[in-house]
């Protein structure tokens, strides 16, 4: 059985930043990349808001650079997914791909979150083509300046993103599946009072239209059955995120949505030696730069934890 000082689970901005700091502190980190190596930025096109890249950078290229930097300090980056844990044992146990068992003095959880999608074939196809389907208005809204877009969802995120898009785009259709919002009243009023947001209540997307890029969407009113085609250039989905924390349930304190609860001003979880960073524990900011910041915190917390134990 292999034993490591610092095991990092996940390979997005949080995981790789933790790796750089942990490696430079001589914790000899081993990282398992998980199901989506590189995380959510791998399905993003241009990233224009990551500091240090004045002319922007493609999401996959940014992640390649994160990885290169972690490798430079000899992080042991491996393919594989953590499928089971026993975080009550000392040292902590983690199983990779249901087979390999590793013990670790510290575990840094950086498993991220996955955007939820509607699951339509046309939506997935155009998303994979980079053809104008996105789950992040703050990341991609800029590309639709002066154009017409649609956003699906009725929660606080959808309202916030619709409002953000309304400042850039000529028009924003908000597709709401019920006859009411889930969002707070303040957020709802904000979108209702924005002139270029048109709210389509009781509406569901039947199909995103376009062969290679988004050209429109077919919307069905689920009360009247009426079909309506809207012309748009961008299709945004804001129906929530799912933190990838299922395997930690029962060990780590999670909130009602499954996000890891960290202690104030730290990356510490309820279990000594287990730290969490990035979108697995952040449902508010969810930016690459904030994920990277908390990854740094997790590595520093792990280093201090080990130092206090005399390692
Ligand atoms: P929520 O789970 O709150 O909302 C998801 C929305 O998506 C709901 O309106 C839901 O509809 C809709 N939805 C879900 N599935 C589908 C589907 N298949 N088709 C169409 N619509 C669908 O997620 P959010 O990301 O908005 O928010 C997550 C948490 O973060 C919340 O607690 C929120 O309050 C918080 N937050 C707070 C902010 C702030 O305070 N500034 C900003 C952003 C988020 P339905 O209502 O019909 O179920």
Q: Decide: 137 in ligand 1 pocket, CB within 6 A.
A: no
140 is catalytic: yes
Residue 94 has a CB neighbour count (10 Å cut-off) of 23
Question: Catalytic: which of 6, 105, 140, 301?
Answer: 140
Distance 222 CA to ligand 1 centre (A): 19
pLDDT class for 48, splitting at 50, 70, 90?
confident
For 52-57, what is the mean pLDDT?
95
Best mutation site among 153, 204, 208, 255 for ligand 1 pocket (most ligand atoms within 8 Å of CB): 153
For 169-175, what is the mean pLDDT?
98
CA-to-CA separations, 130 to 11, 99, 127, 233, in angstroms, rounded: 22, 35, 5, 12
Q: Decide: 182 in ligand 1 pocket, CB within 6 A.
A: yes
Predicted local distance difference test score (pLDDT) of residue 226: 98
Predicted local distance difference test score (pLDDT) of residue 278: 98
Tell me if 67 sits within 8 A of 77, measured CB to CB: yes
Tell me if 107 sits within 8 A of 245, measured CB to CB: no
Residue ranges of the chain assigned to CATH 3.50.50.60 = 2-114+241-308, 117-237
Q: 231-247: per-residue pLDDT in tens?
A: 999 999 999 989 999 99
Predicted local distance difference test score (pLDDT) of residue 215: 98
Predicted local distance difference test score (pLDDT) of residue 1: 86
Distance 100 CA to ligand 1 centre (A): 37
Distance 105 CA to ligand 1 centre (A): 37
Predicted local distance difference test score (pLDDT) of residue 117: 96
State percent of the chain over pLDDT 70: 100
169 is catalytic: no
Q: 251-287: per-residue pLDDT in tens?
A: 999 999 999 999 999 999 999 999 999 999 999 998 9
For 97-126, what is the mean pLDDT?
97
| pTM of the model as a whole | 0.78
Predicted local distance difference test score (pLDDT) of residue 219: 98
For 8-13, what is the mean pLDDT?
98
Q: Rounded CA gap, 162 and 196, in Å?
A: 10
CATH number, domain 117-237: 3.50.50.60
120-123 contacts at long range (C-beta below 8 A, 24 or more positions apart): 120/205, 120/206, 120/207, 120/208, 122/207, 122/208, 122/209, 122/210, 123/205, 123/208, 123/235, 123/237
Q: Regarding the domain with residue range 2-114+241-308, which homologous superfamily does it belong to in the CATH classification?
A: FAD/NAD(P)-binding domain (3.50.50.60)
Q: Decide: 157 in ligand 1 pocket, CB within 6 A.
A: yes
Q: Decide: 205 in ligand 1 pocket, CB within 6 A.
A: no
Candidates 57, 70, 83; CA nearest to 31 is 70
CA-to-CA separations, 192 to 110, 138, 149, 235, in angstroms, rounded: 37, 20, 16, 20
Predicted local distance difference test score (pLDDT) of residue 154: 98
Q: What residue owns the CA closest to ligand 1's atom 7?
A: 239
Best mutation site among 119, 157, 174 for ligand 1 pocket (most ligand atoms within 8 Å of CB): 157
Q: Decide: 158 in ligand 1 pocket, CB within 6 A.
A: yes
Predicted local distance difference test score (pLDDT) of residue 143: 94
Predicted local distance difference test score (pLDDT) of residue 230: 98
């Amino acid at each position: 059985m292999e034993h490591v000082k610092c095991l990092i689970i996940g390979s997005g901005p949080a995981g790789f930043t933790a790796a750089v700091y942990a490696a430079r502190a001589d914790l000899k980190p081993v990282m398992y990349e998980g199901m989506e190596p590189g995380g959510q930025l791998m399905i993003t096109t241009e990233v224009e808001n990551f500091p240090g890249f004045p002319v922007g950078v493609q999401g996959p290229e940014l992640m390649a650079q994160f990885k290169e930097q972690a490798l430079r300090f000899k992080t042991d980056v491996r393919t594989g997914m953590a499928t089971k844990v026993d975080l009550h044992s000392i040292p902590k146990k983690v199983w990779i791909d249901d087979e390999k068992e590793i013990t670790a003095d510290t575990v840094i959880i950086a498993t991220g979150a996955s955007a939820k999608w509607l699951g339509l074939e046309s939506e997935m196809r155009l998303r994979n083509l980079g053809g104008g389907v996105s789950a992040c208005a703050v990341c991609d809204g800029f590309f639709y300046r002066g154009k017409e877009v649609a956003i699906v969802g009725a929660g606080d995120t959808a309202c916030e993103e619709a409002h953000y898009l309304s400042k850039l785009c000529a028009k924003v259709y908000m597709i709401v599946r019920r006859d009411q919002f889930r969002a707070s009243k303040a957020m709802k009023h904000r979108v209702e009072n924005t002139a270029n947001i048109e709210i389509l209540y009781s509406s569901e997307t039947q199909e995103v239209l376009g062969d290679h890029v988004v050209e429109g969407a077919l919307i069905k009113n689920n009360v009247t059955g009426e079909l309506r085609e809207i012309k748009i250039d961008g299709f945004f989905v804001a129906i929530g995120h799912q933190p990838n924390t299922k395997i930690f349930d029962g060990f780590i304190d999670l909130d009602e949505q499954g996000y890891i609860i960290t202690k104030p001003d730290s990356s510490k979880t309820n279990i000594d030696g287990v730290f969490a960073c990035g979108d697995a524990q952040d449902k508010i900011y969810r930016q690459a730069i904030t994920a990277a910041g908390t990854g740094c915190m997790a590595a520093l917390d792990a280093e201090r934890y080990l130092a206090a134990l005399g390692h």
